[in-house]
Structure 1
Amino acid sequence: MPTPKRQLGDRGEQIAAAYLEQCGYTIIARNWRCRNGEMDLVARDGDHLVFVEVRTRRDEYALESLLLRKRQRLVTLAYHYLAEHDVPETTPWRIDVIALTVVRNRLVVTDHVIAAIGEEGCA
């Protein structure tokens, strides 16, 4: 049985995916994995391929919990996905971050930062 923290994270990813679909994105993959880790969501936004990190917290610091090492790993994961799926080099892509926070016992999307992480891993 998943831990309460894992359950919260899974629920956050479900809500983030629904939020993105409402915004017109198409979800391509959930919890995509390779030897370097896991990408929460992979989506399409028009012609852009979008890698999405979902941060779910019980306090208000969901975005602040994204450390430099994690940002760098997300860039590495994006490159692995692009290579593994033979995505043409001309395809525009970015890494977004969606933050969810528990508010009155409900998970709420508090931030959606588009292109939050650059290739160097810095926001």
Structure 2
Amino acid sequence: MGSQCSGGWAEQQALQQLEAQGWRLLDRNWHCRWGELDLVLERQQQLLVVEVKGRRTGHRDRHGLDAFHSAKRRRMARAISCWRAVHPASAEHLLRVKLALVPLMTSRRTIRWIDVERLC
């Protein structure tokens, strides 16, 4: 697989778009016992946690949407709580969580951003 086919490439595409909107990266691929947070960013007293799913066209899990099932969301919520416990200065920040569906191997490079609250 080439560089445009990896999860790291998909994360970089999402990160570049968010940084262009003024978000500042705090952590990337942060791990705890509950799981991993792909991207953790901040902007104007807001904390943004992004789960990135890179998929090829026609992937059978609706481009990554099905991979973000309820058990994954629960693990992510626990990981966010763990991250915030390690970073107490973030306690006052408004938390936003998004899923970024990044198309791979296609001429269409539009990232689909989904508010996680709508998935629950």
- 1:56 and 2:54 equivalent? yes
Deviation of 1:108 (Å): 2.4
Gaps of 5+ in 1: none
Where is the helix percentage greater, Structure 1 or Structure 2? 2
Using the aligned pairs only, state the percent identity: 26
Deviations 1:5-41 (A, max 9, x none): xx61111011111111112211111111112221000
User: Aligned residue for 1:24?
Assistant: 22
Match of 1:93 in 2: 95
- Gap change, CA 1:87 and 1:109, over 3 Å in 2: farther
> How many residues of Structure 1 are paired with residues of Structure 2 in the alignment?
114
Distance 1:107 1:52, change over 3 A: farther
RMSD: 2.3
Matches within 5 A, 1:59-74: 59=57, 61=62, 62-74=64-76
Between Structure 1 and Structure 2, the one with more strand by share is: 1
Unaligned runs of 5+ in 2: none
Q: Tell me the alpha carbon deviations over residues 60-87 of structure 1, each in whole angstroms, 9 at most, x when there is no partner.
A: 5222321111011111110000001113
Contact 2:14/2:111, CA 8 A, preserved across alignment: no
